[in-house]
Amino acid sequence: MKARSKYNARNVERGNAMKIIVLDTETTGMYEKDRICQLSFLVLNEEFEIEEVHDALCKPPLPISYEAMAIHHITPEKVEGEPTCAQTKAYKRLLELNSPANILVIQNAAFDLSMLAKEGFSSQMSLIDTFRVLRAYYPLEGSFSLQYKRYQWGLYREEEALEQKLGIRINAHDALGDVIVLKYLFERLCDEHSIPKMILLCSEPIILSHIPYGKNKGKKFIDIAKIDRQDLHYMLNSNGLDEDMKASILHALESTKDDITITIGFGKYAGKTPLEVLEIDRNYLVWMVNKMDNLNVELKEAIEKVLVSYP
């Protein structure tokens, strides 16, 4: 594969024996308090050959939620007597591999890295988050989930031989099964994008072209910034917004601000400009500026400008 050989050459010149760690975790739940109950990863060489397989159940310091059990089927009985995550051989090996010379591949890395951080792990490796890569490069090709791509891209057809070789069974939402699928997803991405390009992409907030969810799903951020600007401001103030979404919204708003006329998007003067409202109800604008805590910055600045310009 052309993209792979270019990256390999760079590492040979530096004298590095690069390893690629393809990792997944299963946890007690999805919340801040939750912890890891399974840690699995593959160690690949530069030719994407599997050199090591690590799979460890671990006893978390809090109960596994029923919601989590319904997904990954790890019960309290399965982790009874197991070491904590930080005590497992898998975790200790991960610490040994934690070097800038290596690459860490995760699907939706923010979640797994936040869970690993609770065990004391802070990655020094270059990161490729396949979820973010999919969202950036394939915005209109359906779901970005691992299992969706497993079937959409036919990755499942390659699994049987590896299952037999490793003596495992690939099950959805089992950490080891997921890293097998993730390996094939990563290889597919490498067929179309260079590893350095994906590392660079994941090293900073990504400006997405299309909105990945919500009522404007599949539409371009730039287009919505021109016709439904208020919706982007609403999204910007929502809880749990990731850095890529935030950067994309801000970019769309900034790059189109000279092309639009700012209007009030709600209430009795919806659709009117601040100047139009000033002419009929100046006190309403004063009330908006002083009393509305959730007023978006752009509209607030436009109102303040009108009030100062026409005292």
Dig out the tokens for 69 from the structure: 């059990």
Q: Are residues 98 and 54 in the same domain?
A: yes
Contact present, 249 and 243 (Cβ < 8 Å): no
pTM confidence score: 0.87
Query: What is the residue range of 221's domain?
Result: 205-260
Q: Are residues 137 and 280 in the same domain?
A: no
pLDDT tens profile 219-229: 999 999 999 88
Whole-number percent of the chain with pLDDT over 90: 75
Q: Are residues 124 and 253 in the same domain?
A: no
Q: Which residues contact 33 (CB under 8 A, 6 or more apart)?
A: 62
Of 174, 201, 228, the residue at which a domain comes to its end is 201
Q: Are residues 91 and 156 in the same domain?
A: yes
CA angle (179, 103, 194) in 5-degree steps: 95
Dig out the tokens for 240 from the structure: 């749990």
pLDDT tens profile 57-71: 999 999 999 999 999
Q: Are residues 14 and 113 in the same domain?
A: yes
Q: Are residues 106 and 222 in the same domain?
A: no
pLDDT tens profile 271-286: 899 999 999 999 999 9
Q: Indicate the burial class of 177 (C-beta count within 10 angstroms; 0-12, 13-18, 19 or more).
A: buried
What separation, in Å, do the N-terminal and C-terminal C-alpha atoms of the chain show? 67
Q: Are residues 193 and 303 in the same domain?
A: no
What is the reported pLDDT for 287? 93
Q: How many CB atoms lie within 10 A of CB 210?
A: 19
Q: Are residues 192 and 106 in the same domain?
A: yes
